[in-house]
Amino acid sequence: MRLPVIALCLALATTPALSKAPFQPWIDGTQASEPQTQVQRYDADTYVIRQSVKTNFEAPFLYLLFGKDRALLLDSGAGGMKMRPAVDAVIDRWLVEHRRKSIPLIVAHTHGHGDHQAGDTEFRERPETTVVGLKPAEVAAFFGIRDWPNQIVDYDLGGRVLQVIPTPGHQPAHIMIYDRRTRLLLTGDTLYPGRLYVPTNMFSDFWASIDRVVAFTRKHPVKWILGAHVEMTQTPGQDYPNPAFKRPGEHVLELPYTDLLELQAAVRKMGDAPVRAVHPDFIVTPVAPR
């Protein structure tokens, strides 16, 4: 029997942003019973939500960032459960702590694949909520990106400025989010501890996106890279079977900045065509054109 989502969210695990290990262990499907979501608090205005692998094998991570004027939810889940109660519980707690009655919510996406936007329907009728579209033109229009994918733009939550970085390659509308305050780089499916799927017809876009992000980070220091999944074990270079509904000995979510440079070097080494390349924290995995 699963624990109630709201009860879990009201018992958030608080982890200091300055600790060497920013998160406690995540739910991984190894227990007979685990909640549908797990919420960990990175700091007072930054939350990470994981969807249980028991509800969907993708087990994605969602990010909820608060500013003074609005909150941003990055991705809405993979379906198989209701995500909004977990999100609303976090928002309600934040409002109580800040002695506020409401805050507008923006639901955006790292990209448009189903495991990142299946929960959108839950939020479309939510008061004071905007759900961003899934196509590159819709993403560009909302964030004010005039030159997609070359332009990196600011998006202000109110005293908290994020940088929106177009990163097509894994999927045409993919973006990353950089947070100046925490120095977190939210990388979606472009870089995470797992199989980095690259359609062969979009390899040049993927390559260009990695170069764009690396160039950006030369002047914007990154404390942690946080992606949308974990598919690697703690054994370097070893992933789980696909799908895997139990993940004992799971790799941590956070990746060091050096992994971004390692990915760039790996992609450049491939030349014009991607090949499968196993690295300690990720595996570049070419797939058929999409």
CB neighbour list of residue 18: distance below 8 Å, 6 or more residues apart: none
- Provide the domain limits for residue 80: 5-287
The tens digit of pLDDT for each residue in 3-17 reads: 334 334 433 443 334
| 156, 69 Cβ separation under 8 angstroms | yes
Q: State the burial class of residue 178 (Cβ atoms within 10 Å of its Cβ: 0-12, 13-18, 19+).
A: buried
Q: Compute the distance between CA of residue 106 and CA of residue 67 in angstroms, rounded to an integer.
A: 11
What pLDDT does 6 receive? 39
The tens digit of pLDDT for each residue in 25-38 reads: 999 999 999 999 99
Assigned token pair, 268: 């450049």
What pLDDT does 2 receive? 34
Mean pLDDT score across all residues of the chain: 93
> Phi and psi dihedrals of 84, rounded to 5?
-60, -40
> Over 50: is that where the pLDDT of 201 sits?
yes
Residue whose pair of structure tokens reads 């990915």 in the numeric block:
263
Categorize the per-residue pLDDT at 114 as very low, low, confident or very high, splitting at 50, 70 and 90: very high
| Domain containing residue 126: CATH number | 3.60.15.10
Categorize the per-residue pLDDT at 21 as very low, low, confident or very high, splitting at 50, 70 and 90: confident
What's the predicted TM-score (pTM) here? 0.93
Number of domains in the chain: 1
> Over 70: is that where the pLDDT of 213 sits?
yes
The tens digit of pLDDT for each residue in 218-269 reads: 999 999 999 999 999 999 999 999 999 999 999 999 999 999 999 999 999 9
Q: Compute the distance between CA of residue 163 and CA of residue 154 in angstroms, rounded to an integer.
A: 5
**Strand ranges of the sheet holding 153-156, from the earlier edge strand across to the other edge:** 153-156, 161-166, 175-179, 184-188, 224-227, 254-255
CB neighbour list of residue 209: distance below 8 Å, 6 or more residues apart: 149, 166, 167, 168, 169, 174, 190
DSSP state of 199: E
The tens digit of pLDDT for each residue in 159-175 reads: 999 999 999 999 999 99
Residue whose pair of structure tokens reads 């509308």 in the numeric block:
173
> Phi and psi dihedrals of 259, rounded to 5?
-65, -30
